[in-house]
Amino acid sequence: IAGITQAPTSQILAAGRRMTLRCTQDMRHNAMYWYRQDLGLGLRLIHYSNTAGTTGKGEVPDGYSVSRANTDDFPLTLASAVPSQTSVYFCASSVQGGSQPQHFGDGTRLSIL
Amino acid sequence: GESVGLHLPTLSVQEGDNSIINCAYSNSASDYFIWYKQESGKGPQFIIDIRSNMDKRQGQRVTVLLNKTVKHLSLQIAATQPGDSAVYFCAENGIIDSWGKLQFGAGTQVVVTP
């Protein structure tokens, strides 16, 4: 079934450790996104990519980095995890950027201790 | 982590009744709006979208209404079913820059009672 695959589904991580969340889509969408979802705050954009080879900062980029080496993959890296990064992380994609439906994966639940 | 005291507004609906979920958006320059449904433990699922050149759009059992004058968006679900229980949230494109990234609301919890 076409869609977005995120891995891992959940993770408990010690503060200070490095962690990469994986995201792969098989819909050949140009644009991809990373969001975090916290109770009462809704989805907040961390980083995005309009097309392979380009990335941009969203609303809450500090402490996170991304890369877009090809169309399908958009990994999110926490270089040195802190407890405030405990959240549910969603990857999404859309055919093009901007005013189009974004299709989401089922998320990674990350706890930083 | 979780913030104590923060919770989503809740709409309780009897099975078979119609549901109306409301959303106030913030940016008068927004020209694209979208509704998502999110079930527990799942990612957001696209329901329906609407552009600002329309004031109504219908899908299967759902209707989105857009009132640009008061910056209000609503989602109507006809004949609500138990499977409609979820968090629903709206998003606008905001036109932050030329790329127009989506901005999401916090959501409304819909609980369908028998």
Chain A's closest residue to B34, CA to CA, is A101
Q: How far is A47 from chain B (nearest CA, A)?
A: 11
Chain B's closest residue to A42, CA to CA, is B106
pLDDT tens for residues A28-60?
999 999 999 998 788 999 999 999 999 999 989
Question: What is the per-residue pLDDT for A1?
Answer: 59
A76: β partners: A21, A66
Is A10 in a helix, a strand, or coil?
strand
Q: Which residues of B touch A86 (CB under 8 A)?
A: 1
∠ CA B78-B7-A94, nearest 5°, is 60
Cα A100 from Cα B49, distance rounded (Å): 9
Question: What is the per-residue pLDDT for B3?
Answer: 31
Could B7 and A101 be called an inter-chain contact, meaning their C-beta atoms sit closer than 8 Å? Answer: no
Checking DSSP bridges between strand B108-113 and strand B86-92, what pairing results, if any? antiparallel
> Is residue B2 very low, low, confident or very high in pLDDT (cuts 50, 70, 90)?
very low
| Alpha carbons within 13 A on the beta-carbon side of B64 | 24
Is A98 in a helix, a strand, or coil?
coil
Could B49 and A106 be called an inter-chain contact, meaning their C-beta atoms sit closer than 8 Å? Answer: no
Largest Cα–Cα separation, chain B: 47
Checking DSSP bridges between strand A108-112 and strand A10-13, what pairing results, if any? parallel
Mean pLDDT, residues B102-107 taken together:
88
Mean pLDDT, residues B2-21 taken together:
78
A88 touches chain B (CB under 8 A): no
Distance from CA of residue B108 to its chain's centroid? 8
Q: How far is B42 from chain A (nearest CA, A)?
A: 5
Does the structure show a pLDDT above 90 at A70? yes
Residues of B with CB under 8 A from a CB of A: 1-3, 6-8, 31-32, 34, 41-46, 49, 51, 89, 91, 93, 99-102, 104-107
pLDDT tens for residues B72-87?
999 999 999 999 999 9
3-state helix, strand, coil in chain A (%, to 5): 5, 50, 50
From the list A48, A56, A99, which residue is nearest B32 (CB)?
A: A99
Q: Which residues of A touch B102 (CB under 8 A)?
A: 45, 102
> Is residue B106 very low, low, confident or very high in pLDDT (cuts 50, 70, 90)?
confident
